[in-house]
Amino acid sequence: MKKIENVWKALDKPISYLAGFCIASMLICVFLQVVARTFRFSINWTTEMSQYFFLWSTTFGCYAIARKGKMLGVELVRKFFPIPIQRTLKFISYMAAAAFYFIAIYFCILRMPSLMRQTTPVLKWSIGVIYIIMLIGIGFLTLYLVYLAFLGLFGLDEKKSDTPKTAEQIAEEVE
């Protein structure tokens, strides 16, 4: 289990940097658009690139957020049940999310041959390339959700702590 966690930790930094790069690039493209429109000229590719960077930053950002444990969840509902049922509910919720992403990946792969023939309006890139980059990010997220599901099912994600939480720790968890 430690080796698997080390693999995830090794992926954290590059994927977080990739998400950050995409956000920064998107902001640069939007800034260039604003400057161009202010001075009444056009940079056609900035609109398209800002959209792609937005998609990619969201895709890789979701993985980074999942790794930090900041994804939305219905923790309150689970806490009303005994521990074995909590674990089962955690497993079901993670597997349901992973199944959704897996279905999205499956249908994207089915459509990939036709997407490779289509090109983007301005840059004339293959739309398949845009989707392949998204599939990589969604693939990492799907694998991580399956990993979390099994950790939750067997209680391996529970932190053993005898000391009660302070108000600051609880507030930090809520944020």
% pLDDT > 90, the chain: 65
Q: How many CB atoms lie within 10 A of CB 58?
A: 14
Confidence bin at 163 (pLDDT 50/70/90)? low
Residue 53's pLDDT is what? Answer: 97
Q: What are 130-134's contacts with CB under 8 Å, separation 24+?
A: 130/52, 130/55, 133/56, 133/59, 134/55, 134/56, 134/59, 134/108
Q: What is the spatial distance between Cα 32 and Cα 15, in angstroms, rounded to a whole number? A: 26
User: Locate tokens 């349901």: which residue?
Assistant: 96
Would you say 11 and 140 are in contact if contact means Cβ atoms under 8 Å apart?
Answer: yes
Average pLDDT over residues 93-106: 94
Q: What is the 3-state secondary structure (H, E, C) of 80-91?
A: CCCHHHHHHHHH
Tokens of 77: 């509902």
User: pLDDT for 12-43, tens place per residue?
Assistant: 999 999 999 999 999 999 999 999 999 999 89
User: Residue 21, exposed/middle/buried by CB under 10 A (0-12, 13-18, 19+)?
Assistant: middle
Q: Which of 144, 158, 3 is nearest to 65 (CA)?
A: 144
Question: Which residues, 6+ apart, have CB-to-CB distance to 127 below 8 Å?
Answer: 115, 116, 118, 119, 120
Q: What is the spatial distance between Cα 51 and Cα 59, in angstroms, rounded to a whole number? A: 12
Residue 174's pLDDT is what? Answer: 67
Q: What is the spatial distance between Cα 21 and Cα 29, in angstroms, rounded to a whole number? A: 12
Confidence bin at 152 (pLDDT 50/70/90)? confident
Confidence bin at 80 (pLDDT 50/70/90)? confident
pTM for the model? 0.78
Question: Which residues, 6+ apart, have CB-to-CB distance to 52 below 8 Å?
Answer: 130
Would you say 127 and 118 are in contact if contact means Cβ atoms under 8 Å apart?
Answer: yes
Q: What is the spatial distance between Cα 171 and Cα 175, in angstroms, rounded to a whole number? A: 6
